[in-house]
Amino acid sequence: MSQDPMPEQAPQSGPAPSPSGPPARIALTRLTLTEFRCYGQLRIELDPRPVVLTGPNGAGKTNLLEAVSFLSPGRGLRRAPLPEVTRRQAAEGKGWAVAAQLLTPTGEIALGTELEPGEGRRAVKIDGRPAPSQTALGARAPMVWLTPQMDRLFGDAASQRRRFLDRLVYGFHPDHAGQLAAYERAMRDRNRLLKDSPRPDAAWLTALEDAMAAAGAAVAAARRELVARLRGAESLMVDGPFPRADLAIDGRIEAWLDDRPAVDAEEAFRRLLCDNRRIDAAAGAATEGPHRSDLSVHHRSKAMPAAQCSTGEQKALLIGIVLANARLLAGERGAPPLLLLDEVAAHLDGTRRAALYEEILALGAQAWMTGTDTALFASLGDRARHFGVDDARVTEQNG
Ligand SMILES: Nc1ncnc2c1ncn2[C@@H]1O[C@H](COP(=O)(O)OP(=O)(O)OP(=O)(O)O)[C@@H](O)[C@H]1O
Ligand SMILES: [Mg+2]
């Protein structure tokens, strides 16, 4: 296949060179699916190069990205109910499973996750040993995804933008997924207690508010810190193929962190929760907290809120943020995250598409890219692995 290497620019804060020379990587070297959506059994062998998946509609491309997304905490890139993911034709009682070998700067690890029988939960194994929670995946397999549904991210509910931001944070704060889960658990219990009992047990309520304040302050601090670093990220500072974005986080706890130490913000949040008991009981939910925060994004040179930008501009803003995050992580962890880019290439003009590929290659990121048109990926040549996907069959097309 033709190679047409563009003059590669040195990344401003690229992956730390490993002693043997080539940049350190985070990449899947093997992916195995069992009874996963349209796939009965599938195994693909990979190397750190980006992965291109092309084929007709309904072939199984997004399903593969979804399988990879289950190697990180959460419900995957479709946020589907977990039992729905099991192949419809699977034998009774058999649930889906995904396993992978992951190359990291500190060595290769085996990751596995599968639907727990009879439960709406999934179990996680790392190097063959059961992990107590999915949180452990966050730091080991950092990944970020962009899907066609996220074209509406800036006009969507704030919860979608928080989720996007939290995924960016996972790579930097290994305990972020755990703190989020602890916050949400305590909040749910408090909501229930306030709703169900006219005179809730004061000690129990205080314990739940303590837990919310501690985890909530940690969540807010981690989000705020990442937004601040992204704001300073060099690739978001200038208008290039991906426009300069102004990022901010809107949230009461985050704002407190601007002018007081974290312990004081935590204490203020604890007091606020206590003061708000009556209001929250009437509302049936906590009215204040990091579960109400929002990520605000502006197109800098147009001085325009992202939600009012064109579809293409919004996509370019999102890609710019994802790439800036990948650069930051590469500088810090020694390797960029996995990037799952579902149908991203088709919606970019030629210049931006070339810039995206150039950036992915310069970063050394294993980007998983899908599309229906192989021609859009031809310029990647042997610098990527190309697979054809048709009716749940995956065939390599390199060479
Ligand atoms: N649980 C399941 N069992 C069996 N098949 C499923 C299951 N869930 C989804 N599918 C099927 O998987 C097929 C492939 O879906 P996928 O979203 O991966 O396609 P795609 O290649 O990304 O297509 P497009 O180009 O349209 O985005 C679909 O036809 C879908 O109906
Ligand atoms: Mg698809």
pLDDT of residue 13: 38
pLDDT of residue 235: 63
Q: What is the DSSP string of 229-284?
A: HHHH-GGGTS-SSS--EEEEEE-HHHHHHHHS-HHHHHHHHHHHHHHTHHHHHHHT
- Which residue type occupies 97? A
- Ligand 1, atom 18, lies closest to the CA of 60
Weakest mean pLDDT among 13-22, 81-90, 288-297: 13-22
User: Strand pairing partners for 371?
Assistant: 54
- What does the pLDDT look like over 39-75, one tens digit per residue? 999 999 999 999 999 999 999 999 999 999 999 999 9
Pocket probe for ligand 1: among 35, 39, 61, the residue whose CB has the most ligand atoms within 8 Å is 61
Q: With the C-alpha atoms ordered 320, 367, 393, 108, is the resulting torsion angle positive or negative?
A: negative
Q: What is the mean pLDDT of residues 162-169?
A: 94
What's the gap in Å between 373 CA and the centre of ligand 1?
17
Residue 385, CA distances (Å) to 55, 79, 381 in order:
14, 27, 8
CB 390 within 8 A of CB 73: no
Q: Does residue 6 surpass a pLDDT of 50? A: no
- How far apart are the C-alpha atoms of 313 and 155, rounded to whole Å? 13
CATH topology of domain 151-334: Glutathione S-transferase Yfyf (Class Pi); Chain A, domain 2 (1.20.1050)
Average pLDDT, the chain: 91
pLDDT of residue 120: 82
Q: What is the mean pLDDT of residues 233-256?
A: 85
- What does the pLDDT look like over 320-333, one tens digit per residue? 999 999 999 998 88
pLDDT of residue 332: 87
Domain boundaries along the sequence of the chain: 1-142+337-399, 151-334
The ligand 1 atom nearest the CA atom of 343: 27
Q: What is the mean pLDDT of residues 222-229?
A: 95
CATH superfamily of 1-142+337-399: P-loop containing nucleotide triphosphate hydrolases (3.40.50.300)
- Please indicate whether residue 33, judged by its CB atom, sits closer than 6 Å to ligand 1: no
- Please indicate whether residue 81, judged by its CB atom, sits closer than 6 Å to ligand 1: no
What's the pLDDT band for 158 if we cut at 50, 70, 90? very high
The ligand 1 atom nearest the CA atom of 389: 21
pLDDT of residue 10: 33
- Please indicate whether residue 83, judged by its CB atom, sits closer than 6 Å to ligand 1: no
What's the gap in Å between 56 CA and the centre of ligand 2?
9
The ligand 1 atom nearest the CA atom of 53: 21
- Which residue type occupies 22? P
- What does the pLDDT look like over 81-130, one tens digit per residue? 999 999 999 999 899 999 999 999 889 999 999 999 877 899 999 999 99
Q: Does residue 19 surpass a pLDDT of 90? A: no
- Please indicate whether residue 87, judged by its CB atom, sits closer than 6 Å to ligand 1: yes
One fold for 1-142+337-399 and 151-334:
no
